Amino acid sequence: MKIKWYGHASFKITTEKGAKIIIDPYQSGAFGGVISYGKITEEADIVLTSHDHDDHNYTKDIKGTFKHINKAGRYEEKGVQIRAIPSYHDPSRGKERGQNLIFVVEADGLTVGHMGDLGHTLAADTLKLVGKLDILLLPVGGFYTINADEATKVMNDLAPMMTIPMHYKTDKCNLPITGVEEFTRNKKAVKAAGSSEVEITKATLPKSQEVVLLKHAL
């Protein structure tokens, strides 16, 4: 499988059989230009949106005829197993920013978790629902989501072999959130991929836990 980071919380997963899954597409120029990553105009078979905010739910530029999943449940599309698990956008059970979906995507013998705009650490019952992950796509920037310390706890609790940080301040994101350095500080196994995409199989998955930094594609 290939995992490509467009920017912010948006990724494209392409399976070995060619199924294309786009997760949390942002609206380019959202919030008065605060989100300035380029438009996502690639084709998708499946689009997953964790909640209804402009930096996570903009499907209008995506090409192709796709299945849009934005509600909790279990799904199977194009040979891909998907679980959408309820959570919250804040630590107050949704009272501040509403609901959030955690997506668990299973394909090619790998299990990928995308945390959306998770606003809290995970209780035991949610950890059990998420289950064992190989790859974790994790917000780390704070303010609107979990911060670096909370993200570290979520990562440690889920114990994936690979964690890819997302939803942090970059040259294309001027939200009042921190950069990825707050999360990677004092972590030993941090690798820069040098590109916006990684290709992973069960055989090439790291044997010990590591954090992989992608460049934003757009």
Domain ranges in the chain are 2-213
| Mean per-residue pLDDT pooled into runs of 10, the chain (218 residues) | 98 98 97 95 98 91 97 97 92 77 98 97 97 98 96 98 98 96 95 97 96 98
Cα(216)–Cα(61) distance, integer angstroms: 18
**What's the confidence (pLDDT) of residue 90?**
72
Q: Which CATH superfamily is domain 2-213 in?
A: Ribonuclease Z/Hydroxyacylglutathione hydrolase-like (3.60.15.10)
**What's the confidence (pLDDT) of residue 115?**
98
